[in-house]
């Protein structure tokens, strides 16, 4: 899991980072921050799975930081030294917290709980998408697929996908909003899924949404020119199938 550490004392950050590296190798610290303002920027930039958050900080404490966020799409482990009121509140809320100085066993237990909670959220999200997909199919609505990258899982309609391009076991989806999303699955897993929704496999490494084909260019070899300016090669073995699909 990607983690961010926020604490106003540098030695606490250094100590916690060292403990995580030694005893919780599944956690990758992608950023640290010394105050709430730095922390918010780091959260926006890195979109972590896990946040270790000091409660007592000048200007804006940990609770105020969380209240200022539009959403908290990550697990939170509070880190505190002595605030008995905060400890009591967290106990009653079943929220994870660590007391300073941080004990190794408590840190490992907290990370394990956060990992399980994160996995459960992902599973629930996947099941939710499955149910939406089944409902859409039964009502003959447009197909929407889940594309999971290391940053996020996006739910994308087939009409938003211009083309797909593979590189070994990774597939890049080029979308109508101009973004490109890399997914750690080979392109053939999407070929069967998308072929019945207007997508053409014109090359071993390319899958194209027929809606976005502008022309078939033959002056520089056989390539499909797409509406976004991309040029996609047509392999020799796919020519006849593409001609048939385009009624040529």
Q: What is the pLDDT of residue 26?
A: 93
Of the candidates 145, 155, 153, which has an alpha carbon nearest to the alpha carbon of residue 207?
A: 145
State phi, psi for 88 to the nearest 5 degrees: -60, -45
Q: How large is the angle between the packed helices 104-138 and 10-23, nearest 10 degrees?
A: 70
Q: What is the pLDDT of residue 211?
A: 92
The CATH number of the domain covering residues in 2-121: 3.40.50.2300
Q: What is the pLDDT of residue 154?
A: 82
Check: CB of residue 212 under 8 Å from CB of residue 227. Answer: yes
Torsion of CA 23, 29, 33, 38, to 10 degrees: -160
Q: What is the pLDDT of residue 197?
A: 82
Q: What is the pLDDT of residue 230?
A: 93
Q: What is the pLDDT of residue 202?
A: 94
pLDDT < 50 stretches in the chain: none
Distance of alpha carbon 9 from alpha carbon 234, whole angstroms: 59
- As a residue count, the chain comes to 248
State phi, psi for 163 to the nearest 5 degrees: -160, 165
Listed by start position, the domains of the chain span 2-121, 142-245
Tokens 């594309």 sit at which residue? Answer: 147
Task: Identify each DSSP E strand in the chain by its residue range.
Answer: 2-6, 28-33, 50-54, 75-80, 97-99, 144-148, 153-157, 161-167, 170-175, 180-183, 199-203, 206-209, 213-217, 223-226, 231-233
Check: CB of residue 142 under 8 Å from CB of residue 148. Answer: no
Q: Which two tokens mark 215?
A: 């022309």
Q: What is the pLDDT of residue 42?
A: 95
Fold of 142-245: OB fold (Dihydrolipoamide Acetyltransferase, E2P) (2.40.50)
């Amino acid at each position: 899991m990607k983690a961010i550490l926020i604490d106003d004392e540098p030695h606490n950050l250094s100590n916690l980072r060292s403990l995580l590296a030694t005893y919780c190798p599944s956690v990758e610290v992608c950023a640290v921050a010394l105050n709430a303002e730095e922390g918010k920027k780091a959260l926006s930039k890195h979109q972590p799975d896990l946040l270790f958050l000091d409660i007592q900080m000048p200007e804006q404490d940990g609770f105020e930081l969380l209240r200022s966020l539009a959403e908290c799409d990550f697990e939170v482990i509070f880190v505190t030294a002595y605030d008995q009121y905060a400890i009591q509140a967290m106990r009653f809320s079943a929220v994870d917290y660590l007391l300073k100085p941080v004990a190794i066993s408590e840190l490992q237990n907290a990370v394990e709980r956060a990992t399980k909670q994160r996995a459960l959220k992902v599973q629930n999200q996947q099941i939710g998408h499955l149910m939406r997909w089944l409902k859409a199919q039964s009502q003959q609505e447009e197909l929407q697929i889940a594309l999971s990258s290391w940053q996020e899982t996006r739910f994308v309609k087939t009409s938003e996908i211009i083309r797909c391009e593979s590189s070994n076991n990774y597939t890049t989806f080029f979308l109508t909003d101009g973004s490109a999303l890399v997914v750690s699955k080979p392109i053939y897993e999407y070929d069967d899924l998308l072929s019945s929704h207007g997508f053409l496999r014109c090359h071993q490494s390319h899958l194209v949404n027929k809606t976005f084909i502008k022309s078939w260019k033959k002056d520089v070899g056989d390539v499909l020119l797409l509406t976004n300016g991309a040029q996609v090669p047509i392999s020799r073995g796919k020519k006849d199938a593409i001609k048939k699909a385009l009624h040529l």
